């Protein structure tokens, strides 16, 4: 097989150190241990024919490709790269809020200052991370956390909040804290709505990360930048409470109160409610001592009733139930000057609100992006042609990675197919289901006018003419502790109020009930105090 003369360097296959011998009958080199070289030895042709350039074998090409695709960072480098990717997404979020939604440019400075405070405690942790698979990496607020249940926000996570890995929800919470610091009339409902239906990066946020950074980022971190579900209200508020309390105790930050006048006026406009509710809500908040300040305590068990946003909307809902109840009972005011001297036709209110929501979808009744993400297989059969086109366009933009297709081996072939069979036609593209600001404002005012024109007066009866079985405004007040307790009209109102403020329907029901209990305790204290005063006077 071999002539005995050595040729070339040592073998090296499986740590073999023997030298290559001359080629065998098949044209390959062999060593004394029987290993065969990968390269075919091509001799000099007698006619001086120049052979083709040597190419790599398939196994070598596959090895190079695998190293190129899966050559990601580990340990400290991966941790640091993830934070840089998240910071880049945060920049996109701020850009959207400032340039698309018209918020002040100062928001960028405030949010970046909060971001610096958020990641400051991670410096020491990053320095001690050496192994990607190490169990020392603790993710306390990432997108893979189990959804919290119940009424409360766990205090254990707040104590270690600033030491844990930040996630996309933390980035959105920092944006809202910047808005809160500037006292802008923006609600958590706006943040969640923009993250679901707008361009505020959350779903498929990893698309905003450059390809060169994604290739170096381990798959574990990809999952944190690419959530597979919509943003949940409870998850957002949990991250928000954790950041508020942790930063307040760690850095001594005193968060400002909600901008109650602007927010309350906005609630009345969004829900097409009478202006008389403004003073009633303000007075009720003063009575039960709501200051609408974010919670600061680290040890107490914080719940929905401690959220300032929930406190404000619950006071408004209670005033609506007092002055314009949802039942059919007749309640007679003493004078025509009372706010309760008029009643809201809740059927008309529901009709006008539904019409406004339907008109905002356009003539084709297009879906919102949140609805597109929640569609089921059975919903396809009830779609119109335009709705089906919208769903396919959304799926293409959300889940097809064009960069990866272009860089693949058959990328040119796929692009040629897409050019032959385009996925979009020459039709107007609705980039968003949101209406222009001027049109939206005009439509909202039309709803307010229509609702107010449907209100009718209630007969006023003085005390001397009042019958024993007749009711005054506020009497026969109904408590709703569960979703099943809500009448149909009350359910629609609760849903609209929860959407505006950024709470789930269950969260709003509980917040209202907690405020009602607080009012009952205040009434008992006032009655006890009045009784004690009369006893002292008698003595």
pLDDT of res. 364: 61
- Dist CA 155 CA 161 (whole Å): 10
pLDDT in tens, 243-284: 999 999 889 999 999 999 999 999 999 999 999 999 999 999
Tell me how far the alpha carbon of residue 460 is from its chain's centroid. 48
Q: Look at residue 433 and tell me whether its pLDDT is greater than 70.
A: no
- Dist CA 142 CA 68 (whole Å): 28
pLDDT band at 199 (very low <50, low <70, confident <90, very high): confident
pLDDT of res. 52: 46
Least confident of 62-76, 123-137, 147-161: 123-137
Q: For the chain, what is the radius of gyration of the CA atoms?
A: 33
CB-facing half-sphere around the CA of 194: CA atoms within 13 A:
20
From the list 457, 455, 475, the residue with the least C-alpha distance to 466 is 475
pLDDT of res. 127: 55
Per the CB < 8 A criterion, the answer to whether 98 and 107 are in contact is yes
Model pTM? 0.76
């Amino acid at each position: 097989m071999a002539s005995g003369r050595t040729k070339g360097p040592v073998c090296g296959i499986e740590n073999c150190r023997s030298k290559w011998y001359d080629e065998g009958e098949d044209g390959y080199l062999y060593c004394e241990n029987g290993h065969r070289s990968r390269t075919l030895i091509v001799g000099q042709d007698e006619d001086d024919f120049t052979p083709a350039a040597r190419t790599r074998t398939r196994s070598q090409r596959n090895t190079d490709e695998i190293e190129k695709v899966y050559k990601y960072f580990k340990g400290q480098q991966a941790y640091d790269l993830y934070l840089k990717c998240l910071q880049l997404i945060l920049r996109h979020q701020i850009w959207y809020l400032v340039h698309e939604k018209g918020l002040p440019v100062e928001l960028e400075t405030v949010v970046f200052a909060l971001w610096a405070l958020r990641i400051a405690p991670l410096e020491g942790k990053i320095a001690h991370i050496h192994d990607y698979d190490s169990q020392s990496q603790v993710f306390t607020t990432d997108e893979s956390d189990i959804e919290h249940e119940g009424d409360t926000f766990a205090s254990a996570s707040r104590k270690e909040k600033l030491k844990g890995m930040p996630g996309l929800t933390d980035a959105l919470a920092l944006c809202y804290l910047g808005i809160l610091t500037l006292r802008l009339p923006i609600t958590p409902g706006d943040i969640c709505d923009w993250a679901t239906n707008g361009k505020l990066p959350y779903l498929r946020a990893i698309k905003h990360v450059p390809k060169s950074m994604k290739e170096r980022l381990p798959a574990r971190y990809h999952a944190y930048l690419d959530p597979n579900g919509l943003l949940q209200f409870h998850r957002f508020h949990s991250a928000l409470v954790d950041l508020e309390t942790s930063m307040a105790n760690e850095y001594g930050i005193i968060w400002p109160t909600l901008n109650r006048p602007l927010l309350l006026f906005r609630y009345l406009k969004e829900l097409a409610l009478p202006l008389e509710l403004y003073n009633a809500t303000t007075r009720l908040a003063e009575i039960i001592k709501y200051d609408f300040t974010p919670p600061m305590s680290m040890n107490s068990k914080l719940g929905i009733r401690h959220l300032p946003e929930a406190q404000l909307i619950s006071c408004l809902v209670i005033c609506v139930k007092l002055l314009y109840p949802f039942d059919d009972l007749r309640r007679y005011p003493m004078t025509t000057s009372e706010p309760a001297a008029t009643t809201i036709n809740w059927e008309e209110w529901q009709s006008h609100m539904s019409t406004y929501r339907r008109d905002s979808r356009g003539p084709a009744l297009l879906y919102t992006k949140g609805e597109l993400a929640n569609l089921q297989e059975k919903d396809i059969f009830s779609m119109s042609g335009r709705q089906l086109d919208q769903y396919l366009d959304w799926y293409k933009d959300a889940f097809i990675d064009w960069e990866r297709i272009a860089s693949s081996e058959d990328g040119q072939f796929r692009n040629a197919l897409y050019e032959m069979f385009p996925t979009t036609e020459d039709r107007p593209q609705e980039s968003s289901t949101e209406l222009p600001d001027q049109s939206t404002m005009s439509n909202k005012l039309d709803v307010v006018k229509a609702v107010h024109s449907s209100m009718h007066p209630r007969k006023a009866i003085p005390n001397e003419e009042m019958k024993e079985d007749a009711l005054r405004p506020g009497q026969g007040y109904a408590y709703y502790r569960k979703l099943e307790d809500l009448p149909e009209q009350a359910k629609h109102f609760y849903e609209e109020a929860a959407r505006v403020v950024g709470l789930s329907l269950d969260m709003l029901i509980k917040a209202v009930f907690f405020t009602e209990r607080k009012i009952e305790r205040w009434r008992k204290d006032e009655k006890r105090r009045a009784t004690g005063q009369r006893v002292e006077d008698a003595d």
